[in-house]
């Protein structure tokens, strides 16, 4: 047993701040642009800084454990949740897919750029109707002669317009498979940025595929059974747990700073129990969420039979804690917290996404229940 973070992850956490913070406002401004070339350039500039911190080697190079990855993920999400999700849900997820299911050619052509953050990845999973749990995918990969044809509509696809590679999940012979395409492939249409509740600058897009032709070496799968989707969801949930930790810490620290510096009745508002006690509850949630998230990650490392349950427990707890902490942070900042652009109102809106994304908190609870009923 050892509850301390390692030196390496501590150093990367520090470097991330050092490398990103000064340039972050400019990067975010460019990311917000509707000009996808401008957004892409800004993203690659941010990715370069992140990579030079050692983050990419640690997380994508699999040099270290899932626990170490969680520690640096938390920090990047703390600095900028939107940037974190673009990197992890784009590059990180595609790296995991290619590493686990890709052929040698795919690995050689794509992985180096993704892992070094010199390229941008995107994974199109969610269907137009928004549900992937119980409904089969409507997008399809159909064999036609010596090639395959991809058709369908995808929603909430992160990085789609700025990516170098887009992996689209679709049904092939009644089983899920992945087709890897370039965003400028004929027949592929990428809509404009989707306006979202939070996570600005939003880099979510709709993607349409109509008769997109792919060669068989651009396909991963098809995959039998539910294991593929289940694994994909686990990778996503791990990413979203990291996001929750960063978001809630961001909100908590902003609220604490405000409460210690904002005076009322001749003393800082933190001295009032109605504020101080809220902060106490918030910090308790942050601390508890961190420990649960790190333990869930450790179970992924050890292959513990309860790793799936623990990850779902962490997903539910951390996602809901993030919203609760952010909500209380808005309350503590009062009117200031309600003004657009403030860290806490942003965190409040960002946190909602984490409850919905990946395995939603409702589905995760059902899955925890199912697992308990199976195991005990």
* Residue whose CB is less far from another protein, 19 or 368: 368
Distances in Å between the Cα of 233 and the Cα atoms of 119, 221, 295, 312 are: 23, 16, 18, 10
Cα separation of 296 and 74, whole Å? Answer: 14
- Least distance (Å) from another protein to the CB of residue 87? 22
- Least distance (Å) from another protein to the CB of residue 139? 28
Q: Is 96 exposed, middle or buried (0-12, 13-18, 19+ CB in 10 A)?
A: buried
What are the residues facing 167 on neighbouring strands? 123, 180
Strand ranges inside 80-194, DSSP E: 121-124, 140-144, 147-158, 165-172, 175-181, 188-193
Candidate list 145, 195, 266, 376; residue touching another protein; CB under 8 A: 376
Should residue 24 be labelled a site residue for another protein when binding is judged by CB under 8 A? Answer: no
C-alpha 326: how far from chain center: 18
Should residue 372 be labelled a site residue for another protein when binding is judged by CB under 8 A? Answer: yes
Are the C-beta atoms of 207 and 157 separated by less than 8 Å?
Answer: yes
* Residue whose CB is less far from another protein, 229 or 271: 271
- Least distance (Å) from another protein to the CB of residue 93? 24
Should residue 240 be labelled a site residue for another protein when binding is judged by CB under 8 A? Answer: no
Should residue 227 be labelled a site residue for another protein when binding is judged by CB under 8 A? Answer: no
- Least distance (Å) from another protein to the CB of residue 306? 9
Report the candidate in 83, 1, 39 with the shortest Cα–Cα distance to residue 193.
Answer: 39
Should residue 111 be labelled a site residue for another protein when binding is judged by CB under 8 A? Answer: no
Among 109-117, 134-142, 150-158, 255-263, the segment contacting another protein (CB under 8 A): 255-263
Should residue 11 be labelled a site residue for another protein when binding is judged by CB under 8 A? Answer: no
- Least distance (Å) from another protein to the CB of residue 246? 17
Which residue shows structure tokens 């979510």? 204
Sign of CA dihedral 231, 116, 70, 202: negative
What are the residues facing 179 on neighbouring strands? 168, 219
Cα separation of 234 and 49, whole Å? Answer: 27
Binding mask 70-109 for another protein (x = CB under 8 A): -x--------------------------------------
Should residue 264 be labelled a site residue for another protein when binding is judged by CB under 8 A? Answer: no
Specify the DSSP class assigned to residue 159. T
Cα separation of 155 and 179, whole Å? Answer: 16
Helix 227-261 / helix 343-356 crossing angle, nearest 10 deg: 160
Should residue 298 be labelled a site residue for another protein when binding is judged by CB under 8 A? Answer: yes
Among 13-21, 201-209, 234-242, 271-279, the segment contacting another protein (CB under 8 A): 271-279
Should residue 280 be labelled a site residue for another protein when binding is judged by CB under 8 A? Answer: yes
- Least distance (Å) from another protein to the CB of residue 355? 14
What are the residues facing 193 on neighbouring strands? 205
Are the C-beta atoms of 330 and 338 separated by less than 8 Å?
Answer: yes
* Residue whose CB is less far from another protein, 174 or 273: 273
Should residue 17 be labelled a site residue for another protein when binding is judged by CB under 8 A? Answer: no
Name the residues that contact another protein, by CB under 8 A. 1-6, 67-68, 71, 256, 259-260, 270, 273, 276-277, 279-281, 283-284, 287-289, 291-292, 294-295, 298-299, 301-302, 309-310, 312-314, 316-317, 362, 364-366, 368-370, 372-373, 376
């Amino acid at each position: 047993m050892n509850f301390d973070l390692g030196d390496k992850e501590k150093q990367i956490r520090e470097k991330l701040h050092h490398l990103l913070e000064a340039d972050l406002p400019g990067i975010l401004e460019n990311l917000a642009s509707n000009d996808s070339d401008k957004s892409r350039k800004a993203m690659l500039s941010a990715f370069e800084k992140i990579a030079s911190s050692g983050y990419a080697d640690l997380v994508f190079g699999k040099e270290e454990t899932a626990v170490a990855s969680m520690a640096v993920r938390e920090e990047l999400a703390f600095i900028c949740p939107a940037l974190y999700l673009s990197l992890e849900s784009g590059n990180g997820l595609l790296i995991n897919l290619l590493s686990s299911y890709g052929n040698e050619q795919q690995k050689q052509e794509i992985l180096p750029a993704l892992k070094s953050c010199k390229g941008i990845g995107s994974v199109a999973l969610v269907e137009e109707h928004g549900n992937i749990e119980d409904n089969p995918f409507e997008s399809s990969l159909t064999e036609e002669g010596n090639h395959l044809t991809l058709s369908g509509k995808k929603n909430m696809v992160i990085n789609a317009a700025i990516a170098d590679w887009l992996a689209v999940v679709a049904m092939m012979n009644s089983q899920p498979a992945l087709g890897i395409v370039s965003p400028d492939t004929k027949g592929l249409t990428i809509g404009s940025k989707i306006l979202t509740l939070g996570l600005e600058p939003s880099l979510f897009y709709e993607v349409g595929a109509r008769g997109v032709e792919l060669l068989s070496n651009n396909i991963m799968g098809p995959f039998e059974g539910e294991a593929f989707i289940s694994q994909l969801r686990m990778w996503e949930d791990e990413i979203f747990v990291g996001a929750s930790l960063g978001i809630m810490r961001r909100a908590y620290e902003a609220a604490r700073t405000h409460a210690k510096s904002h005076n009322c009745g001749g003393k800082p508002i933190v001295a009032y129990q109605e504020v101080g006690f809220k902060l106490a509850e918030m910090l308790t949630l942050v601390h508890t969420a961190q420990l649960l998230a790190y333990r869930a990650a450790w179970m992924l490392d050890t292959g513990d039979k309860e790793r799936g349950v623990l990850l779902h427990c962490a997903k539910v707890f951390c996602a809901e804690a993030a919203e609760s902490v952010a909500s209380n942070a808005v309350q503590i900042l009062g009117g200031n917290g309600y003004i657009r652009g403030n860290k806490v109102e942003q965190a409040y809106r960002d946190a909602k996404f984490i409850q919905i994304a990946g395995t939603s908190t409702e589905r995760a609870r059902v899955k925890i229940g199912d697992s308990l009923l199976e195991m005990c």
